[in-house]
Structure 1
Amino acid sequence: MKPVLSIRDLAISLPPGADRAFAVQNVSFDLNQGEILCVVGESGSGKSMTANALMGLLPDQVEVARGEAEFEGRDIMALPDAERRKLRGDRIGMIFQEPMTALNPLMRIGDQIAEVFEAHNRHTPAERREKALALIGEVGLPDPEKIIRAYPFQLSGGQRQRAMIAMALALDPAILIADEPTTALDVTTQAQILDLIKTIQQRHGMAVMFITHDFGVVAEIADRVIVMRYGEIVEQGSATEVLQSPQHDYTKALLRAIPTDHVPTPEPVIAQPVLEVRDLRKTFVTSGGFFKPKRSVTAIDGVSFTIARGEVLGIVGESGSGKSTVGRAIVRLVEADSGEVILDGQDMNALNADQLRRARRRVQMIFQDPYASLNPRKKILHALSEGPIVQGVPREKAHARARELLEIVELDAGAADRYPHEFSGGQRQRIGIARALAMDPDLIIADEAVSALDVSIQAQVLTLLRDLQERLHLSLMFITHDMRVAAQLCDRVAVMQHGKLVEIGPVQDVFLSPKAEYTRNLLAAVPGTDWRKGAA
């Protein structure tokens, strides 16, 4: 099989003061015509840097130190910027991880697709519109005439990713680079996008370089696999070889870190409820406009459940199922329309502002993006001690407790004197856990707390959460779209769809004998299900 792309001895240098001299070094591999090559590794492994070097999208002060990338008889790395720009979108297309930041929020989807043709002087304006419509249809977006006029914020995450794929396909490239295109998506949307990429790759005969940290995704779509660590390739081979007979210790460690399909049987929790949610309801209504009617979306539709003291309850479902809205309604970051939230006999929804401020100490949240929830201008000591100080804890005592909490979440106490940007994603999530613990709460609500982490870091944070929960006898409400994660951590699981609770029960019952068709579909959509069953 003839390579469509050959990379030889690629090295990408980092600026002075970085934690290592090279982001990528000694990297050589081929991408063959008509194959899907998965590049796997944790954050910092160099996989995205390699793709950005090919596209000429490296950050300032980061540059290619040496190496070649032969494509269609030319070395991409040696091309002038103007020639590299001609290749981008034309012969090499790219799908980014977060389409909301890659799409222009002020331009309609149709105009953004048409802009690809315009940038390369292709077609008349009328032809560009017709081709944009055809592409929107090809990537499975509903009602192309409506989508072509929509803005990015009017689409769901999966729809925005489909729009990005349409843009990448516009000029029928020979290579498609997909950089973590499904990481932020729920399992059913992820399965749809993976199937779409696989279908389009076969239809167009493209070579696909697919960057991911999820071996479940690898099992679904890869023909060959490259495993990277600290900027170097540590293993490569066919998907079957790497998944079933990994050679390098790092590959074996990544595979071990994947949440398994084994469902533990936790001891039943029979303690008194710390939280009772009764018939909770919330409907969001848009304001409309001159030409748009008001639109209402039911986010929570009569939800009721309890969480016992010392219990972990998982809330699972797709994006838009209402699971995060339930978590926010419990602490009144979102005001429910009706229903009761009883925390140790006290209805949170009936409290006035002063009462609510005092009651919130007893229920804390861990958010999905800890960097966004930490003040970048304040040291970690401030983040961990601010809440207790506001609640009347003496400053010295709060500071001492902050350093103690850092050690509890397995960080050095000296981390208190550093800023959020000085930590990795996994370390910041540990800080988020420490901040939640600082108020000595009765209940912690973790909203997608591990969904953005690499599998090995995710495994560490899950182990930490379970250890803390058992050691401190915490009650935990764990919101996630990842069924495998819920199976590993939770005592009971509640499944939500369109604002309703469709199933709730002990974790082994829900996962091994699901009653609802929706639950069965969620379980079937988890990437790599067939591979994991074969490996079991």
Structure 2
Amino acid sequence: MTTPALAIEGLTLALPVMADRPNAVEDIKLTIAPGETLCVVGESGSGKSMIAHAVMGLLPKAVKPTAGSIKLAGRDLLTLDEAAMEDVRGREVGMIFQEPMTSLNPVMRISDQIVETFEAHGLHDKATRRARAIELLTEVGLPDPPRLAKAYPHELSGGQRQRVMIAMALALEPKLLIADEPTTALDVTTQAQILKLIDNLRHRHGTAVLFITHDMGVVAEIADRIAVLEKGVLVEEGTADQVLGSPRHPYTQKLLAAVPSLTPAVLPPLPDTAPVISVEGLGKIYRKRSLFGVAREVKAADDISFALVRGETLGLVGESGSGKSTVGRCCLRLIEPDRGRIALGDLVLSELKPAELRRQRKRIQMVFQDPFASLNPRQTVGRIISDGPVAHGTPRKEALARAKELLELVGLSANAIDRYPHEFSGGQRQRVGIARALALEPDVLVADEAVSALDVSVQAQILKLIKDIQGRLGLAILFVTHDLRVAAQICDRIAVMQRGRIVESGPTAAIFADPQHAYTRQLLAAVPGGGRFGH
């Protein structure tokens, strides 16, 4: 029998006294063989990232191991001091973090960050370190590695930054690679490339992979075995076929049932009424200097036209950089378009002066991707929700009473009005963001990747909430997303964007059944897990 690359036995991690449960994880037993990928899945707060941080010796000070062992090639990592763990990190265990932009040093060139890994472990001479950095960038499939090595993180795309993180994690050829939600923020085609890259590298190097994710599509694509965590307890473990094909535990069944299907939902017919919002010939050009000093123009939106009636949801889909968010923000004039016409009913929004625009902005509101970044951490949710109406002349007392109603509308308690954003989960914060957007009783809601950062079960709840509110209030919704599964469940129509242009549009069911454009077919083919989750 092969000796496991990693063996976790009876691991218990105690949480602080004030936490919502005694232990982050309890009596966890996991093993990973060389060359094997184990996916640890579960909702936010299930303890999966805590296991990764325990292996790396990077637990928060308030979280303490109270039982069990973590053996890497037979050596218990929990018994090592910090100096010994510093040697383990990188050399024996590499880690890819969820958000490469916050993990990479913004003021260091890419090659210097990889070279730093060798320097920290006293490996190679200067020339060899540089050469090895270029080799690693080549191995992870980055274009023109010698030139890219001189770049700074902000000059790379999200997918390129994630490849750099993988190159750094593999620099010292570790026995174990930990990938903590490494594809969550990526669009489907980039995600597919990163998953293929990790899979190829583990086969080539015989590296054991601990892959942490809440995305069951990703699990279906990459896992040899799956471990399911619920609130710190391992509730199910088995091969990918066993767990995905015939899950035994109700929690696993619930997670799988919550995965949005690629089969479009059957939505009620729309009223044949005048458009609530119409966009004609919208254009936006960004002018910027490239990595190598050459000025260039990027057409983020190029001759975009569409219209929405009451109760309709139009999905803007495409990869990162396709221009979807630019179009959404131009509709609110958070970004000023260079040309085109944006009208809310008979009101031409694109022609309004700033003072009049402020008065009319309540008619079109936005739900942002990251509710934590878009909510003021120093204000209570009551204040956050009521500030908009107060700015438009509603007395504070009346606005706060309405905020309580809105909290209940989005499935939260009215008693939560005096709590702060950090006291809520990610899904709850997104509900607060929706309540804030609805406080001004808009005609149009722009949802910019509003569920992309959420667990599948929370995502399903938020999508249902949005549809319920839309049915009740008759909202027109512009839904910006890179997740085609989500688009299939909520959108009446789809507009597919590539490099600033709409390349295909039409009813969701028609486009998913018979995509006409090669780019649409490419996007559908890249969805992780393919048609496995048809429900």
Q: TM-score, normalised by structure 2?
A: 0.98
**Cα-to-partner distance string for 1:134-184 (whole Å, 9 max, x where unaligned):** 000000000001111000000000000000000001011111000000001
How far off is 1:238 after superposition?
Answer: 0.4
| Greater CA drift, 209-218 or 61-70 | 61-70
Question: Deviations along 1:312-354, whole A, 9 cap, x unmatched?
Answer: 1111110000000000001111010000001111211110011
Q: Are the aligned partners of 2:218 and 2:529 in contact in 1 as well (CA < 8 Å)?
A: yes
- Contact 2:7/2:32 (8 A) holds in 1: yes
The one-letter code matched in structure 2 to 1:168 is A
Kindly state the Cα deviation for residue 513 of structure 1 after the two structures are TM-superposed. 1.0
Aligned-partner SS, 1:531: coil
Pairwise CA distance, 1:2: 2.7
Q: Counterpart of 2:91 in 1: which secondary structure?
A: coil
**2:233 matched to which residue of 1?**
232
| Residue of structure 2 equivalent to 1:299 | 300
Does residue 283 of structure 1 match 2:292?
Answer: no
Q: Contact between 2:449 and 2:482, CA under 8 Å: does it hold in 1?
A: yes
Equivalent in the alignment of 1:399: 400
Letter in 2 for 1:439: L
The one-character-per-residue Cα deviations of 1:276-302 (angstroms, maximum 9, x if unpaired) are 10000000112689x823222110011
- Partner residue in 2 for 1:358: 359
Partners of 1:157 and 1:185 within 8 A in 2? yes
Shift of 1:397: 1.2
- 1:117-516 equivalent positions in 2, closer than 5 A: 117-269=118-270, 270-286=272-288, 292-516=293-517
Larger mean Cα displacement after TM superposition, 67-76 or 22-31: 67-76
Read off the aligned partner of 1:516 and give its amino acid letter: H
Partner of 2:112: 111
Matched residue SS, 2:90: coil
C-alpha contact 2:262 2:484 (8 A) present in aligned 1: no
Given that residues 284 and 297 in structure 1 are in contact (C-alpha distance below 8 angstroms), is that contact kept between their aligned partners in structure 2?
A: yes
Structure 2 counterpart of 1:274, which letter? V
Mean Cα displacement is larger for which, 473-482 or 261-270? 261-270
Partners of 2:492 and 2:508 within 8 A in 1:
yes
C-alpha distance in 2 between matches for 1:426 and 1:199: 34
Structure-1 separation of matches of 2:216 and 2:372: 26
Opposite residue 424 of structure 1, the aligned amino acid is S
Question: Which residue does 1:34 correspond to in 2?
Answer: 35
Structure 1 consecutive aligned stretches of length 4 or more whose deviation exceeds 4 Å: none
Q: Supply the distance in 2 between the matched residues of 1:287 and 1:458 (Cα, whole angstroms).
A: 38
For 1:44-63, what aligned pairs fall within 5 Å after superposition? Answer: 44-63=45-64
Which residue matches 1:43?
Answer: 44
Give the superposition deviation at 1:371: 1.0
Q: Deviations over 1:78-119 (max 9, x none)?
A: 111111110100011110000001100010000000111111
CA distance in structure 2 between the partners assigned to 1:387 and 1:117 by the alignment: 52
Q: CA deviation at 1:15?
A: 1.4
SS in 1 for 2:387: helix
Task: Return the alpha-carbon distance in structure 1 between the equivalents of residues 146 and 266 of structure 2.
Answer: 50
What is the distance in 2 between the residues matched to 1:316 and 1:232? 37
- Equivalents in 2 of 1:70, 1:390: separation in Å? 58
**How far apart in 2 are the matches of 1:122 and 1:361?**
59
Q: SS state of the match for residue 23, structure 1?
A: strand
**Structure 2 unmatched runs, 5+:** none
Q: How does 1:85-96 map to 2 (within 5 A)?
A: 85-96=86-97
Distance 1:463 1:160 in 2: 34
Query: Which piece of structure 1 moves more, 342-351 or 493-502?
Result: 342-351
Larger CA deviation: 247-256 vs 291-300:
291-300
Quote the Cα distance in structure 2 between the aligned partners of 1:90 and 1:527.
31
What is the identity, as a one-letter code, of the residue corresponding to 1:285? R
More displaced, 270-279 or 133-142? Answer: 270-279
Please report the RMSD computed on the Cα atoms of aligned residues, expressed in angstroms: 1.2
Higher mean alpha-carbon deviation, 57-66 vs 404-413, is at: 57-66
SS in 2 for 1:247: coil
Task: Report the number of matched residues.
Answer: 533
Task: Indicate conservation of the 8 Å contact 1:271/1:310, yes or no.
Answer: no
Range that drifts further, 16-25 or 178-187: 16-25
Q: What letter is aligned with 1:456?
A: S
CA distance in 2, matches of 1:169, 1:417: 47
- Paired with 2:533 and 2:445, the residues of 1 have a C-alpha distance of 31
Contact 1:15–1:21 at 8 Å: present in 2 too? yes
Counterparts of 1:243 and 1:285 in 2: how far apart (Å)? 47
Q: Tell me, in whole angstroms, the C-alpha distance in 2 between the residues paired with 1:251 and 1:490.
A: 27
Q: C-alpha deviations, 1:417-462, integer Å up to 9, x for none?
A: 1111100000000001101110000000000000000000000000
Report the Cα offset of residue 70 of structure 1: 1.5
Q: 1:160 corresponds to which letter in structure 2?
A: R
Structure 1 residues 287, 194: closer, same or farther in 2, change over 3 A? closer
How big is each residue's C-alpha offset from its partner over 1:358-416, in whole Å with a ceiling of 9 and x where there is no partner?
A: 11010000000111111111111111111101101122211110000000011000111
Answer whether contact 2:3 2:73 (CA < 8 A) is retained: no
What are structure 1's unaligned runs of at least 5 residues?
Answer: none
Q: What's the secondary structure of 1:34's corresponding residue?
A: coil
CA contact (8 A) 1:265 1:507 kept: no
C-alpha distance in 1 between matches for 2:142 and 2:339: 35
> In structure 2, what residue type is equivalent to 1:370?
P
Could you tell me how far apart the structure 1 residues matched to 2:172 and 2:363 are?
A: 56
How far apart are 1:531 and its partner, in Å? 2.8
Change (3 A) 1:375 1:305: same
- State the alpha-carbon separation in 1 of the partners of residues 290 and 9 from structure 2: 56
Question: Structure 1: how far apart are the matches of 2:119 and 2:164?
Answer: 17
Q: Is contact 2:179-2:212 (8 Å) kept?
A: yes
SS at match of 1:30: strand
Could you say what secondary structure the match of 2:276 adopts?
strand
Q: For the residues of structure 1 that align with 2:289 and 2:260, how far apart are their CA atoms? A: 43
Please give the alpha-carbon distance, in whole angstroms, between the structure 2 residues aligned to 1:133 and 1:420. 43
- How far off its partner does 1:77 sit? 0.7
